[in-house]
Amino acid sequence: MVFYLLVIFNRQGKCLFTMECNKRRTKKGKPEQEQKLMFGLLHSLKSFVNRITPRPLDQLESEPLNSFVTKGYKLHYFETLSGLRFVLTTDPTVGNLQELLRSVYALYVEYVSKNPLYQVGDSVDCQLFVSKLSEYMRAHPNFG
């Protein structure tokens, strides 16, 4: 049960923040390319989900896309109404992490968006956010 990678995108697909929680496999290609692929995939997946759904999704309380699982990892997804996307990849056996991603959003609000020197849409470079975040993630039972 481990966390791998946390990524935050904005609505335009810009990667605002990444954090590697545990050493992963050897790297293939540049991280920028990986982020672009990831955002593209999520974007397409979301529109795919909307397209094939048997009932209209705006009637549903929860988000249409929460996570998907592959053999190697599980990807958890949380999108805010303001267009921020929180993505966390973990070991495939991990359960529902919507609550965790909401808490990461709460930390983002507290230490990023309330920081007057942070410009909305810029990459997140707030030391306090990073330290609070890793503290929070480390305390989570699934961190390993």
CB of 94: closest distance to other proteins in angstroms? 22
Closer residue to other proteins in complex, CB, 43/138? 43
**Residue 122 near residue 16, CB atoms below 8 Å:** yes
Distance CA 26, CA 14 (A): 24
Contact segment (CB under 8 A) with other proteins among 32-40, 48-56, 69-77, 89-97 equals 32-40
Do 2 and 21 touch, CB atoms closer than 8 A? yes
Residue 120 as a binder of other proteins (CB under 8 A): the answer is yes
**Does the footprint of other proteins cover residue 36 (CB under 8 A)?**
yes
Query: Any idea which residue has 């997946």 for tokens?
Result: 45
Please tell me whether residue 136 binds other proteins under the rule CB under 8 A: no
Q: How far is the CB of 49 from other proteins (least distance, A)?
A: 14
Encode 58-70: b = buried (16+ Cβ within 10 Å), e = exposed: eeeeeeebebeee
84 binds other proteins (CB under 8 A): yes
Which of 40, 72, 92, 144 is the binder for other proteins (CB under 8 A)?
A: 40
Instruction: Report, in Å, the least distance between residue 124 CB and other proteins.
Output: 12
Long-range contacts of 27-32 (CB under 8 A, 24+ apart): none
Query: Which two structure tokens, joined as six digits, stand for 62?
Result: 């929860």
Q: State how far the alpha carbon of 144 is from the alpha carbons of 13, 53, 67, 75, in Å.
A: 29, 36, 20, 17
Which parts of this chain interact with other proteins (CB under 8 A)? 11-13, 36, 39-40, 43, 58, 61, 80-84, 102, 105-106, 108-109, 113-114, 118, 120
